[in-house]
Structure 1
Amino acid sequence: MKMLKVLIAGAALFTATSGFAADRPVHLRGEVTAVTATDLTITDRKGVKTVVKLPEQAQVLDVSRSSVDAIKENSYLGVAAAPAPEGKVRALGVMVFPEPARGLNEGHFPWDMGDKSTMTNATVAKVSKKSSATELEMRFGGKTQVVVLDKATVYGQFVPGKRELIVVGAKVLVIGAPTADGATAANAVLVGRDGFLPPI
């Protein structure tokens, strides 16, 4: 039960948002270059530094590498994807949910990993092996979405983590929200293991 509560509290990363709404969560990806008891500094791949407030209640998720082999029928996934022909989407990053997190924020909605990118949180109903890729039929709320996995797809998995994982050099995805003073406060910090950048 404790694990489920932590996952729910940290699940802002998989939450549907209303496209370009002013209250849309802030997503920051990069490397931790400074950290204190109250904030951390993230440097993205372009060298831009952002200081983020780190409240006591901010959740930490421990993210490690996974692979296509972890995906089976009935797996529950979060898939960040780009548009593909015939109404399909091409998976950029896949997060394999632990069983206690099954069903969290189920749906298909806009994401921020490129033009017209999406997030699909759903159950794998069917796995089809193709010559150059694997296709997943994912079901959510009575709907389906076909997801194409290819050689460029990155896979991860997560469990609740500890604040001690947030150290200089760690690769992170921070999900935050704007504060009244114009800063960003972290709601959840996804910390990649061994230099792994969370794939969503």
Structure 2
Amino acid sequence: MKLLSLIVAGAALVTATATFAADRQIHVRGEVSAVSATEVTITDRKGKKSTIKLPETAKVLDVSRTNADSIKENSYLGVAAAPAPEGKVRALGVMVFPEAARGLHEGHFPWDKGDRSTMTNATVAKLSKKASATELEMRFGDKTQQVVLDKSTVYGQFVPGKRDLIAVGAKVMVIADQGADGATAANTVLVGRDGFLPPI
């Protein structure tokens, strides 16, 4: 059952990220300021409040902090990144996927962590440690992407979570669908432990 839960949780995350570029898919990051059985209100770092419907079908992921030591060759990662010289990208946030989620939605596509930011879901084919940074060669299908990890990169990992993790004060990232009326409904809620904001 744990393996199945991990697969479902991983699928929920990567399915949501896969469709982010489509219309009506949004991400909301911030702190839970109110929650009920049917809604959650998120306050972002600029003080803006967003109220999102919280259907029973919404998946919850329990996200904890980790570090660069958890990344090895053959790790499967999701990397939110900014452009860097020579066609590389600089990792802003890295999510270490559980083994059961390996291979789900491999690719390199636009993201919303800043101007021209991207998401790369891929396997670490090569890891090279250098004086000021670590470089990863990420492989997806027959393509590769060079990723630079530096001192500002934030690392997280996840397991399936329970709904009661969505509590006032929790730091979250909500992946939600937006209806034609402008209302939003969560399909996945990533909840950071101990004040940790999910890094993607």
Q: What is the TM-score with the length of structure 1 in the denominator?
A: 0.95
Distance 2:96 2:56 in 1: 27
- Partners of 1:3 and 1:135 in 2: CA distance: 28
Q: Which piece of structure 1 moves more, 113-122 or 172-181?
A: 172-181
What SS does structure 1 have at the residue aligned with 2:189?
Answer: strand
Aligned partner of 2:9 in structure 1 is 6
The change in CA–CA distance for 1:17 and 1:185 in structure 2 (over 3 A counts) is closer
What's 1:112 paired with?
A: 112
Residue matched to 1:59: 59
| SS state at 2:7 partner | helix
- TM-superposition CA deviations, 1:151-192 (whole Å, max 9, x none): 000000001100010000000000001124311100100000
Give 1:22 deviation, angstroms.
2.5
TM-score normalized by structure 2?
Answer: 0.95
Residue 81 of structure 2 aligns with which residue? 81
How many residue pairs match? The answer is: 197
| Deviations, residues 123-169 of structure 1 (Å, cap 9, x unaligned) | 00000011100000000011000000000000000011000100000
Measure how far apart 1:96 and its partner are. 0.1
8 Å Cα contact 2:5/2:160 also seen in 1: no
Offset at residue 17 of structure 1 (A): 4.1
**2:100 counterpart SS class:** helix
CA distance in 1, matches of 2:150, 2:13: 28
Q: How does 1:1-40 map to 2 (within 5 A)?
A: 1-15=4-18, 17-18=20-21, 21-23=22-24, 25-40=25-40
CA distance in 2, matches of 1:133, 1:85: 14
The answer as to whether partners of 1:14 and 1:121 remain within 8 angstroms in 2 is no
Contact residue 28 and residue 174 of structure 1 kept, 8 A: yes
Q: What residue is the counterpart of 1:94 in the other structure?
A: 94
| RMSD, aligned CA | 1.2
- What is the DSSP-based 3-state SS (H/G/I as helix, E as strand, rest coil) of the residue aligned with 2:105? coil
Aligned twin of 1:198: 198
Q: Which runs of 4+ in 1 moved over 2 A?
A: 9-14
